[in-house]
Amino acid sequence: EADIYQTPRYLVIGTGKKITLECSQTMGHDKMYWYQQDPGMELHLIHYSYGVNSTEKGDLSSESTVSRIRTEHFPLTLESARPSHTSQYLCASKDGNYNEQFFGPGTRLTVL
């Protein structure tokens, strides 16, 4: 079982709210990733980090932002949530360059 955690698991909020999705891993992995996935669809990379104080935008444009102040923590923030942000958000991490990624259980976000 991978030691990567995401909270909350489910979140229902109103439009305009600011939210932060938490992701933590205890494996000491340097590389971390955020994906967005609609039901039954592929994963889209929205942010990634290769180490502390390093963050990059992914292939899918996203209005969210991320930070990496500590190796184990990679939170994702939406300043003003909209219904179009409704989706599942998956966090992953890995060590090394070309190894497998370990995924958290995901946060299912619904914006009303």
Partner 1 sequence: SQQGEEDPQALSIQEGENATMNCSYKTSINNLQWYRQNSGRGLVHLILIRSNEREKHSGRLRVTLDTSKKSSSLLITASRAADTASYFCATALSNDYKLSFGAGTTVTVRA
Which residues sit at the interface with partner 1, rule CB under 8 A?
6, 31, 33, 35, 40-43, 45, 48, 50, 58-59, 88, 90, 92, 97-106, 108
Q: How many CB atoms lie within 10 A of CB 36?
A: 22
The minimum distance between CB 43 and partner 1, in angstroms, equals 4
Residue 84 backbone dihedrals phi, psi, to 5 degrees: -65, -15
The minimum distance between CB 69 and partner 1, in angstroms, equals 20
Helix (H, G, I), strand (E, B) or coil at 85: helix
Q: In what order do the strands lie in the sheet with 19-25?
A: 4-7, 19-25, 76-78, 65-66
State which residue, 79 or 98, has the beta carbon closest to partner 1. 98
State which residue, 9 or 18, has the beta carbon closest to partner 1. 9
The minimum distance between CB 84 and partner 1, in angstroms, equals 20
Helix (H, G, I), strand (E, B) or coil at 69: coil
State which residue, 16 or 51, has the beta carbon closest to partner 1. 51
Helix (H, G, I), strand (E, B) or coil at 5: strand
State which residue, 27 or 79, has the beta carbon closest to partner 1. 27
Distance of CA 49 to the CA centre of its chain: 11
